[in-house]
Amino acid sequence: MAEAATVHSKRRITNLVMTSLTAICAVFATSVLLIIIGFIAYQGISSLSWEFLTDTPKPVGEGGGIGNAIVGSAMMTLLAAAIGLPIGIAAGVYLAEFGKNWYGNTIRFIADTLIGVPSIIIGIFIYTVVVMPMGRQSGLAGGLALAIIMIPIVARTTEEMINLVPNSMREGALALGAPQWRVSWNIVLPAATSGIATGAMLAIARITGETAPLLFTALNSRFYNFYYDQPMSSLTVQIYNFATGPFEVEHAMAWAATLLLVGFILVINIVVRYLTRKKY
């Protein structure tokens, strides 16, 4: 009887210890997020100023800013979205509407593979097919690298969103005699638009934070550059250069640029979460 009681209490203690440990894991991970964001906000806010946001990098001690990096990031993200969104969405529609066969499965598998490929490898690929033939790094090369990263992500989220559209809508339109492309384009796609748009926003947030594929495709630039055929600065590469530089002033600028970048990315993520809250 007493033995049974100790076995029982042992089980209860194990239960208590292990369940508390899992809670501690959750608390630990959320505090890491808060610590990281806290540091970025605390360190970054002191260097933010109008001059910092509009000026170009200057020799250490003369101030300077990241205006050209903001413009560069925006231009390359825009180019990537202009190429990556249409191709990605079209590929996603194909997978959802015509991809329930071996070819669709192959594309699906290849897309997932491409999502898993480290982004630096995409950078090297673009280096060999764009930078080497052109003879120099450029915003075009950077934007293309980001587009390649974007295409499979957008394709897979688009497919998922289209799959959420009820089949009865398709059947209704087909029964009324509409051709398949009309059904897909005028009935199914509009119904999935908000889902596809949130997927696109998340993909844009993701490529804005990419550094590795830009390092040797877009390189960097100390000046405002509005031409895609020239080397282009970006927020992420600028943060990397500031952070690995030797001077305190540069480190402060790295934190401020990070505040801007992380702020942008987190706002997109939170807005998307807010907009899709009912579905989850």
Partner 1 sequence: MAQSSTLGDKVYRTILFAAATSILLIVAAVFYMMVQSSIPTLQRFGIGFLWASEWNPSQELFGALPFIYGTVVSSILALLIAVPISLGIAIFLVEQAPKKIAKPIAFMIELLAAIPSVVYGLWGIFVLAPFIRTYLGPVLQDNLGFLPFFQGRLTGIGMLTGGIILAIMITPIITAVVRDVLEAVPNTQREAALALGATKWETTMIVLGNAASGIAGAVVLGLGRAVGETMAVTMVIGNSPQITASLFEPAYTIASVLAANFADATDELYLSALIEMALVLFLVTVVINGLAKLLIMSVAGRANASKHT
Residue 247 touching partner 1 (CB under 8 A): no
> Measured from the CB atom, is 32 or 226 closer to partner 1?
32
Q: Where are any strands of DSSP class E within 87-232?
A: none
Q: Binding residue for partner 1 (CB under 8 A) from 9, 46, 98, 222?
A: 98
Residue pair 141/75 in contact by the 8 Å Cβ criterion = no
Should residue 108 be labelled a site residue for partner 1 when binding is judged by CB under 8 A? yes
**Does 148 interact with partner 1 (rule: CB under 8 A)?**
yes
Contact call for residues 238 and 69 (beta carbons, < 8 A): yes
Find the binder of partner 1 among 212, 218, 253, 256 (CB under 8 A). Answer: 212
Q: Which stretch binds partner 1 (CB under 8 A): 23-31, 45-53, 64-72, 187-195?
A: 23-31
Give CA–CA dist 38/30, Å, rounded.
12
d(CA 126, CA 109): 22
Q: Is 41 a binder of partner 1 (CB under 8 A)?
A: no
φ, ψ for residue 124 (rounded to 5)? Answer: -65, -40
Tokens 């992420």 map to which residue? 236
- Looking only at residues 44 through 83 of this chain, which bind partner 1 when binding is defined by CB under 8 A? none
Q: What angle do CA 215, 218, 221 make, to 5 degrees?
A: 95
Length of the chain: 280
The answer to whether 231 and 219 are in contact (CB under 8 A) is: yes
Q: Which of 1, 2, 4, 18 binds partner 1 (CB under 8 A)?
A: 18
CA distance 60 to 20: 50
Hey, which residues between 260 and 279 contact partner 1 (CB under 8 A)? Answer: 261-262, 265-266, 269, 273
* 1 binding partner 1? (CB under 8 A): no
Q: Give the footprint of partner 1 on residues 166-205 (CB under 8 A).
A: 179-182, 184-185, 205
Helix/strand/coil for 57: strand
Choice between 43 and 54, CB closer to partner 1: 43
Site size toward partner 1, by CB under 8 A: 94
Please pick, from the candidates 3, 21, 167, 279, the single residue that binds partner 1 as defined by CB under 8 A.
21
Closer by beta carbon to partner 1, 197 or else 243: 243
| Residues 138, 229 contacting (CB under 8 angstroms) | yes
List the one residue from 122, 161, 162, 203 that touches partner 1 (CB under 8 A): 122
